[in-house]
Structure 1
Amino acid sequence: MLRRRLAPEPYAASATAGRSCALFGALLAVIAVLMGRGGAVDPRGALAVLGFGLLFALLAAALAVWSAGVIWRTGRRGTGRALAALVIAALVLAYPAWLAALAALRPTVADASTDAAAPPAFSSSPTALAARGGAVHEEPPAEAREAERRLYPNLQPVMLDVSVEEAYDLALKAVQGRGWRVIEAVPPRGKFGAGHIDAVAPTRVMALPDDVAIRIRPASGQARVDVRSASRFARTDAGENAARVQSLSDELEDAAS
């Protein structure tokens, strides 16, 4: 006597679709990071690809939640696929969600300087503008500068017991040692002349360009160095600009001591 085998329950289509969306979103996120770090395309292109990856991750999470209800009601298979979709989507969305939470809880600051009252100006020469893709960083408004003071009270001018020429050389060497791209460097001239360095520094994750301005001028027998770092694309930076300014300031103090 032959036994008839019951056909297994089919997979919930939403669970399968959710996993596929999550994998595609993760792939787009990886491609966006590689595009940004490779530097071969306009950073806006990498950000656009990342945006699509985040949208697919959100869709995957929604499909996974929906499929849980489908599986519960119909008894169909797909729990593992739904869980996989949730986990992958969570990994893709974790860092952007953290940035979004910071943006909601903190003032919108994406510009940090050791001199909040009169931050170093970015060069407006044709060469510098072309290297920054036409980006222009105006002096932050008063409310932004006050927010910066509250958020980063430890950012202070760097006072070095060296000549302004030596301070300029130290700053230029530090910038080059970090692999930042120098787009303009003007050494100090004369007894009261100020030196200036414009550079481009990469962000941590996607290596998108942020802009750095360094001002070196004499101050009562010392050299005063002010550093400014500003995001080119983000409206909030999770403290990355301030960390970059503080790190460079510490390096200069160590190099001069």
Structure 2
Amino acid sequence: MRVVTLAVTSLLAALSGAASRAETVAIPDAREAVVQVISRGEGADPALIVGLHGYGASEPQIATLLPVELDFPHVYVAVRAPLALEDGGYAWFRFAAEAGGIVIAPGAVERAVDDLATLLPRIAEATGAASDDIHVVGYSQGGTLALALALDRPEAVASVAAFAGALPSDLATPQATAPLPVLAAHGRLDPLISEQDIALTRAMLAAAGRRVTPFDEGVPHVVGNAGRLRLQIWLADRLAD
């Protein structure tokens, strides 16, 4: 049995200059995970919002890239990816850049999805959030993981929002099983995720019965102000359901 330390740090306290509060929780049968609390909205049975950072980054990226302010009970956390990279930062899965594009090892995304789906209810328990009201937000490689979670494990979450991410074309598309709400956002100037990539991603999700909401913004591989506002509205709508 592997025991995981879940380190929960208050970003708000750190920004105010106060000493950060660290809380550790032992989680059996999962990888080590570091989780940073970005914000809380007080109230009973808070929803859990989980942010997934991009390749080569770490959990603080989510706080600056995808901040949210919600008048609903919630806990918004950012998770550090489990794979430490040689040049610094972390990744959800490894890939290689070749002449034909990015190559991902067979099964790598599926394994990352399984690990995340296992971790989500444990994060909810550790932070006092509702395990049946989990919303995942991802950027870049974190967006790809969020979309793969929506495709393969829709029962694990209440909604998914992904920015600058796309599904690998070789992922198996399951039979239509759940009308999970998915926000699939794309930058029209993105040099890494093409219009064809995002169109295929949205088609794969729709074929699996997911309720896909497309959002296109005139930005490169980033999240612009319109994207941040769209996320704010998206999460408010989901939490109000």
TM-score (norm 2): 0.25
In terms of fraction of residues, the more helix-rich structure is: 1
In terms of fraction of residues, the more strand-rich structure is: 2
Of structures 1 and 2, the one with the larger relative CO (CA 8 A, separation 6+) is 1
TM-score (norm 1): 0.24
